[in-house]
Amino acid sequence: MSSYQKELEKYRDIDEDEILRTLSPEELEQLDCELQEMDPENMLLPAGLRQRDQTKKSPTGPLDREALLQYLEQQALEVKERDDLVPYTGEKKGKPYIQPKREIPAQEQITLEPELEEALAHATDAEMCDLAAILGMYTLMSNKQYYDAICSGEICNTEGISSVVQPDKYKPVPDEPPNPTNIEEILKSVRSNDKELEEVNLNNIQDIPIPMLTELCEAMKTNTHVRSFSLVATRSGDPVANAVADMLRENRSLQSLNIESNFISRTGLMAVLKAVRENATLTELRVDNQRQWPGDAVEMEMATVLEQCPSIVRFGYHFTQQGPRTRAAQAMTRNNELRRQQKKR
């Protein structure tokens, strides 16, 4: 047995409880402070857990942030600035650097014909820029200047080589005009099964009440002339998606459905996909760019629907998983081939 182990043997039978009972309150408080596990270098812990609370003074009141900031600002203004070791007088010392002129060796000097010398002497900055581009000195100019000089047969640069690169000036593109569709008139025409109405386009109309959209889907159930139904960016949610699903189960004339850029969740998309299986006339379906990603299960359901519905030849959705994307691509190829063979007959 080593000497260290012999030294520890005398502490084996010590009664810790008896020792704690004999300690005074001040000694117990000091022992509690010593036993606290603190990590002052752990920046992830709050300040109160990185050091012991050694404040004995009772709080004076609630925290007043504005008063504290004013006090700190006043203290900073009252503190005298430290004097510079060497006072600044504004005197400039030393000589300005002048780059020495480099003399070109005789073996590196190039002698041109007098006609070329005269042409280069009277060349403008734009002509020199085009000439540098033709010679392949693309590091002396911007990419726009270089490609303009290479692709154009005329001198098109209006700025010299040393000029500051300016951004291209593009013509402002005006915003698209608002959708002029009158929703109430469209609803009346759909209900009356108007023969002249073959397309319902409500794109980018964001103030349509949800009850009116559901009424429109309800009227589409018995309509036999509308071929295209588009609800892009109308802030439609699951209630509208469920109404669209009910419409697809009964409508037998609709060929194109577009519900992109809306707030439809995976529940609403699943309802629409299940209804598509019961519809044999729909040839185009677009459901991309919803507010949230529908999930793997919905993408697998999309691929299954495309495999089981040969009438769909155009499908709008950006798959994020490789498996459903491959299945959907194969199904679309097969559906388009079947459609081509039917037209050939």
User: First CA to last CA across the chain, in angstroms?
Assistant: 102
- Position 45 scores a pLDDT of 75
pLDDT band at 167 (very low <50, low <70, confident <90, very high): low
pLDDT in tens, 112-165: 777 777 777 777 767 777 777 777 666 666 666 666 666 665 655 555 555 455
- Position 33 scores a pLDDT of 72
| Sign (positive or negative) of CA dihedral 265, 266, 267, 271 | positive
- CA of 162: how far to CAs of 1, 17, 122, 169, in Å? 87, 87, 17, 20
144 in the Ramachandran plot: left (φ > 0), alpha (ψ -120 to 50) or beta?
Answer: alpha
Sheet hosting strand 199-201, strand order edge to edge = 199-201, 228-230, 256-258, 284-286, 314-316
- Position 229 scores a pLDDT of 96
Percent of all residues in the chain with a pLDDT value above 70, rounded to a whole number: 86
Average pLDDT, whole number, for the chain? 84
Phi and psi, residue 170, nearest 5°: -100, 150
Percent of all residues in the chain with a pLDDT value above 90, rounded to a whole number: 48
- Position 143 scores a pLDDT of 67
Tell me how far apart the alpha carbons of residues 308 and 160 are, in angstroms, rounded to a whole number: 64
Tell me how far apart the alpha carbons of residues 74 and 281 are, in angstroms, rounded to a whole number: 79
pLDDT band at 265 (very low <50, low <70, confident <90, very high): very high
pLDDT band at 297 (very low <50, low <70, confident <90, very high): very high
pLDDT in tens, 55-99: 777 877 888 899 999 999 999 999 888 887 887 787 888 888 888
Domains for the chain: give ranges and CATH numbers: 114-152 (no CATH), 183-344 (3.80.10.10)
